[in-house]
Structure 1
């Protein structure tokens, strides 16, 4: 792997020279490899400057420290290691990643949205792998640290990079775009997510829309015209490719039917119909988004469909498991009102005569909207007629209160996941379908772990 010379980085002060070839960039002294550049970031709970000795002993060839830290501390003595200072090491990471991105010049696909961005990223990577080597965001490392680190991992064999870009505050997308400069940009949807920090869905749309305005010169927007917010954001863009499940578009998809286990049977631009191997009607929206990106890069339509059909899901995102004969839909990675509604609809789509049970944790970052949104979920749960609703977390007390008011008999709030799991296992039986859902901070996957432990 080749990197831009540190000497070309404006604002970087060299205290001790380094003349070799960098092999990578790391911010974690524990994962530093021989020849790496170690960037000492300072966070709320850690300070990379405290681990300079560890990074060097693990093979760091050069280190970057903040100018302020350098003025107040003594640097490790090692004449074989390059030492550099920058006004802010986080800013250095972003700017150096941008230099690397422009040095490599591979097409960059930027993906954002309130829901579905990780799934679309994974599906897109499979589609583009039909025509070249794809580098993609690992997991959901999609923020101001994850995006530059992902870009810095592009190597000489990379043909395409698929970068997930997540935000929860205004202005963050503009910063991420200044680093990634995406050639192709897609916003999956605009929903009530991170509303605590944005204030309204319109402001969420405005913030997400910075992805379109932040593209590289000549960039192409991939536009979901089924979403009114995104359609409006793209109205004045010169270069765009549209997709839709409902109206004519460059990539026109259709949901032909929903199988008994909630999987969608789809066709795109008249291709041979196929069944998605992930649960829920909503997954068709993610699939057609990836298909539209494939169309942009001239991937043959049969290859697009084959790639998407091969996708088997991602842990915590509508992932199907079996525990003691019970079907568990693990959608525990995150939650907002729209994604919860999607998950509930997917559970409803199961045509099994066995019980359907919802295990739900708080939806976080909803601010002043939180109580009403949790109550709204309670009303939807009652209308759906699920056999049981078990809730955990402070905010879901309102969900259970509303469900009980609407007549749900087995609607219970728990103070501990252990008690919840014990009740769940006693109430459920083999063949029952259990949905586990909640925001990342609630760690509702613990319930699945406890279920497995209960069996063992």
Structure 2
């Protein structure tokens, strides 16, 4: 974080500094909400959560070196404390102020990324491209909500030139609040799908929420939209910013064609203006082409060398931990561990990739768990995935957990199968059932929402540890 005094932090957060004698102390360390991540000089925000209360961990934060505590009540501690009415609001105020100060005194450019799928992968690709050129800050993992995104923004300092903000939401208004904090120069919308549909009331509610990324962009800003998704492309009518598009559509400003997928990666031909060049991604899956296009679109609109940007993308080894991670497992088995997140669109894309990369004459295996947060759409969407497994001619399906049972039931109802789909209750049962049957040449996809925990099954099958 940029250097701020305790008094400045109290003023920005509209809080009260308990120890006035400490008003002049200057903070330059990280801002954390997890006491385990605190290092000497950190500012610790004690936030109340659904599971626990950060105020219970103030002593732990101080023991780890916290130099300032921001809390919603006075706490007995040996370091200065700022007491605020609402910790989350205070965190947002601090992030907004820091971003604005760095922007005012430096060369900072900010890009916001949202979409039902692909946010983290696109963020990682763009971070690689921008970091190749100048100091860049982007969130680790999926720090994209009302707490994680501001924490990521507070990582910037006076030397930062590029800030990449991933913006997720579980309900209306959340992306708008993040946009208000970060004030992006460029907003990217990747896709509108049914991820977290339970919180939005359906696909149109999701569309309205994702459109919050571009509705408040200034006329000097740029809205980068997926030309292949009608709901995203239609957002051009609700933004005052200049609109740029990407996709496979021949009318897109940044285009991909001749896409090919194999177990070694994904290739396509990239075109923009007079530039036309092949791109060979090491990242697995046709759906990552759109993420790469989005990253290239930002680079192009910011005046960066697109050929160099494409070369950087070709060197990115994986999208993210547990996202289409490919392993050469013992015994000649290939495991694709994609069980960090799951929505109907991402599961369908992963299954399509499984079918594409399984060599002729060898067996494809899908191990699937629950797609969470679908609300009233859960049964129909799990049913649709089960039928898709059969239509893609996947060789074996193992469904894990009662919440995902409709995948198994739908696969059986689709016909032409006899025992190819099996339903088990636990991860251990799935491992004990599958592992003894694996043979050289099998390709196994493990896919579920994070809450189902199948990412650990994928690691176990692959013979890797965290």
Per the normalisation by structure 1, the TM-score is 0.93
Cα shift at 1:259: 4.0
Mapped partners of 1:157, 1:230: distance in 2: 34
1:50 equivalent in structure 2: 56
Q: How does 1:42-191 map to 2 (within 5 A)?
A: 42-66=48-72, 69-70=73-74, 75-76=75-76, 78=78, 81-105=79-103, 106-191=108-193
Deviations 1:81-107 (A, max 9, x none): 322211111111111111011011121
2:246 equivalent in structure 1: 243
Mapped partners of 2:18, 2:426: distance in 1: 54
8 Å CA contact 2:219–2:242 kept in 1: the answer is no
8 Å CA contact 2:269–2:276 kept in 1: the answer is no
Mapped partners of 1:286, 1:181: distance in 2: 22
1:425 equivalent in structure 2: 435
Mapped partners of 1:138, 1:33: distance in 2: 17
2:373 maps to 1:365: yes
Deviations 1:381-413 (A, max 9, x none): 111111100000223222111211222221100
1:264 equivalent in structure 2: 267
8 Å CA contact 1:23–1:34 kept in 2: the answer is no
2:416 equivalent in structure 1: 407
2:256 equivalent in structure 1: 253
1:294 equivalent in structure 2: 299
SS of 2:116 mapped into structure 1:
coil
SS of 2:164 mapped into structure 1:
strand
Gaps of 5+ in 1: none
Cα shift at 1:447: 1.5
Cα shift at 1:431: 1.5
2:210 maps to 1:205: no
SS of 2:18 mapped into structure 1:
strand
Mapped partners of 1:177, 1:98: distance in 2: 10
Cα shift at 1:215: 3.3
Mapped partners of 2:27, 2:84: distance in 1: 18
* Deviation larger for 201-210 or 446-455: 446-455
Distance 1:379 1:10, change over 3 A: closer
2:226 maps to 1:224: yes
8 Å CA contact 2:327–2:462 kept in 1: the answer is no
2:33 maps to 1:27: yes
2:309 maps to 1:304: yes
Distance 1:217 1:103, change over 3 A: farther
Mapped partners of 1:304, 1:240: distance in 2: 21
Mapped partners of 1:284, 1:451: distance in 2: 27
8 Å CA contact 1:111–1:121 kept in 2: the answer is yes
Mapped partners of 2:329, 2:76: distance in 1: 52
Cα shift at 1:427: 2.3
* Deviation larger for 345-354 or 197-206: 345-354
* Deviation larger for 255-264 or 292-301: 255-264
8 Å CA contact 1:265–1:273 kept in 2: the answer is yes
CA RMSD of aligned residues (A): 2.0
Cα shift at 1:26: 2.2
SS of 1:193 mapped into structure 2:
coil
Mapped partners of 2:154, 2:99: distance in 1: 7
Q: 1:329 aligns with which of 318, 331, 336?
A: 336
Cα shift at 1:232: 0.9
Cα shift at 1:287: 0.9
Mapped partners of 1:10, 1:77: distance in 2: 20
SS of 1:222 mapped into structure 2:
strand
1:383 equivalent in structure 2: 391
Q: 2:46 aligns with which of 27, 40, 46?
A: 40
Cα shift at 1:374: 1.1
Q: 1:273 aligns with which of 275, 278, 292?
A: 278
Cα shift at 1:11: 2.3
Mapped partners of 1:262, 1:156: distance in 2: 38
Deviations 1:31-88 (A, max 9, x none): 333332222111122222223333334333222221xx33xxxx3254xx32221111
8 Å CA contact 1:436–1:444 kept in 2: the answer is yes
Mapped partners of 1:437, 1:163: distance in 2: 26
Mapped partners of 1:261, 1:310: distance in 2: 13
Distance 1:261 1:382, change over 3 A: farther
Cα shift at 1:342: 0.5
Mapped partners of 1:417, 1:130: distance in 2: 40
Mapped partners of 2:303, 2:283: distance in 1: 25
